[in-house]
Chain A
Amino acid sequence: MSEETWYKMLAVSLALHIVVLGAFSIPVKWGSSRKIDLSSAYSVNLVGSAGNLGGGSGGPKVAVQSKPEPKPDKPAPAIKEKKTPPPKKPQPMQKEDDAVSISKKKAPPKNKATREEVDRLEERIKNIRKKTDYIDVAKAGSGGSGRGTGAGMGLPGSGGGSGAPLDPAMQKYLLDIYEKIKNAWNVPGMAQKKDLETIITIKLRKDGRIVDMNVEKRSGNRVYDESVLRVLRAVEPLPPIPSSLNTDSLEIGFRFLPGGLS
C-alpha cells in the first residue's frame, strides 16, 4: 500500500516484538533461581555449638553421605565436649549426650597414625574454640594452609556433637581428599575478592575414581565454575576409600569459596 502505512505498520510490528520479548525476558532469570536439592546429602556442623547450625549464613559446609550407613538427620543439641558416637550405629539424641568421648574409645583399634591425627585434631579444635565460639569453616579454611591440615575444619563429625557417626578413618580420608583438592586448586585471579560460591557433590568409587559429579550450585561466574571443575578432574584419582570404612561408594560435597574450600 502507500508508503505512509508501511512505516506505520513497521512501527506497530516493532512495538509488538518489543512487548513480547520483554514479557518473555522478565521471568527468565537464570542460574539464581535454581533450586538446590540437598535433601539427600547429610549436613554436619563441625565446630562450636550445634545451635548455630540452623543459623543460616554459617550453615552446613560439608555434606557427606555414606551409602551403607543410614544416619540420623538432625544434629544433636549443643554439646561442649567433643563427641563422636560409635560408627555404624545411628543413635538417638539422648544417648549421644551420654556417650563417652569417642576419640579415646575409638582410637585403640585404629592404627597409630589415625590416633595421632585425631589427637591433633582435638587439640586444634580446642585452640580454635578458645578464639571464637563458632568458626566459619570457609574462613578457617582460607587461613588453613599455614596450619597444617587445616585442623580438620571442614571435616564432618570431628566435633560439635553432630549425629554423624564418622570414625577417625573417615575423618582422615576426607582430610586427605580435602588437602589434595585444596593444593591443586588455583583460585582464578579475578575471583579473589568476589562473593562467589560453587557447590559440587562428587561420588567416589572404592578405588578413588570420580564416577559422578554434580554441580549443586553455580557461582554464576563461568571462569570460576570451570576452574572448580578443572581441579576436580585434575585430582582424579583420589586416594582409594579405606577398606575399614566398609563402603563401596561415597558422596562428598564441596563448597568452593574464593577464600578457600570446604
Chain B
Amino acid sequence: MVLSAGPMAKAVMVILLFFSIVAWTIILMKYRQYSRTEAEGDRFFRAVKDADSFKKLISVYRDSQDNAFYRLVLAAYKEVTSRQKDNPGRIHKDDMPGIENMLRVAISDESAKLERRLSFLATVANTAPFIGLFGTVWGIMDSFREIGVRGTTSLAVVAPGISEALIATALGLATAIPAVLAYNYFLGRLKRILSRMENATIYLINILDK
C-alpha cells in the first residue's frame, strides 16, 4: 500500500519517518540525561547536608564524573579560589555577590544544556500533523482526478487511493503524539530540575558563608 503511493505521498512519508526517528532519538537522550541529572541532584543534596564546610563538600566531589551539579560546585570552587588568591583565608562578605553571579551563570549554562534539542520535539509535535495532512490532501486530490479520468465513482475504484492518502495523516499523528507527550513531560521535569539547581546554589552560598 505504501509502495504503490504516489511520489508526493512517498516524500511526505519519508519526511515524517525521519522526524519520527529524530524525535525518538531526542526522547531517549533526554530521558537519560534528565534521569542522570536528577540522580546527581539527590547525591548533591545528601552531600551538602552531611558536609559542614565547603572544603568537605569539594572532597566529596573530587572523584566525581562530569555532571551538572558537579559543574555547579566546580564553578563556585573556581570563583572562591580565584578570590582567595589575593586574599587568602576566609571569604570576604564583599565577595559573595560575585560568587552568586558566577553560580547564576553556571545555572543558566546548565539549563541551556538541559533544554537543548527539546525545541525540536515541539517543532515535530506542531508540524508533523500538518505535513501528514498535506500528504493526505494531495493524495485525495489525485484520487478525485482519477475518478474524473476513469469516469467511475465506484467505491472499489476510489477507496484505495483515499486509503493510501490517509496513511500520511496517520503517520503524521503517530509522529506528533509521542513528541507532544514527551515534550510536555520533559518540560515538567526540566522545571523540577532547574528549581532544584536554584536550591543547590542557595545551599552552596550558605555553606560558603559559614
Judge whether A13 and B25 touch: CB under 8 Å.
yes
Number of A residues contacting the other chain (C-beta, 8 Å)?
A: 23
Docked CA distance A25–B29 (Å): 28
Chain B residue at minimum C-beta to C-beta distance from A21: B17
Beyond A214-B156, A215-B156, whether A1 also contacts B25 by CB under 8 A is no
Verify if B32 is at the interface (C-beta below 8 Å from A): yes
Residue from A5, A25, A30, A229 within 8 A of B152 (CB atoms):
A229
Q: Which B residues are in CB contact (< 8 Å) with A28?
A: 1
Verify if B151 is at the interface (C-beta below 8 Å from A): yes
Judge whether A212 and B154 touch: CB under 8 Å.
yes
Judge whether A213 and B154 touch: CB under 8 Å.
yes
Judge whether A229 and B157 touch: CB under 8 Å.
yes
Docked CA distance A16–B156 (Å): 35
Judge whether A13 and B24 touch: CB under 8 Å.
yes
User: Interface of chain B, helix or strand or loop or mixed?
Assistant: helix
Docked CA distance A230–B157 (Å): 12
Docked CA distance A261–B207 (Å): 94
Q: Which B residues are in CB contact (< 8 Å) with A230?
A: 150
Query: Within residues 196 to 214 of chain A, which ones have a CB less than 8 A from any CB in chain B?
Result: 212-214
Verify if A226 is at the interface (C-beta below 8 Å from B): yes
A229 to chain B, nearest CB (A): 6
Verify if A104 is at the interface (C-beta below 8 Å from B): no
A residues adjacent to B (C-beta < 8 A):
1, 5-6, 9-10, 12-14, 16-17, 25, 28, 30, 212-216, 218, 226, 229-230, 233
Q: Which 9 A-B pairs have the closest CB atoms?
A: A215-B156, A13-B24, A9-B28, A13-B25, A9-B29, A10-B25, A9-B25, A213-B154, A1-B33
If A5-B32, A25-B2 are given as contacts, then 19 extra A-B residue pairs at C-beta distance below 8 Å, sorted by A number, are A5-B29, A6-B25, A6-B29, A9-B25, A9-B29, A9-B32, A10-B21, A10-B25, A12-B24, A12-B25, A13-B24, A16-B24, A30-B160, A213-B154, A214-B154, A214-B156, A218-B156, A226-B150, A233-B151
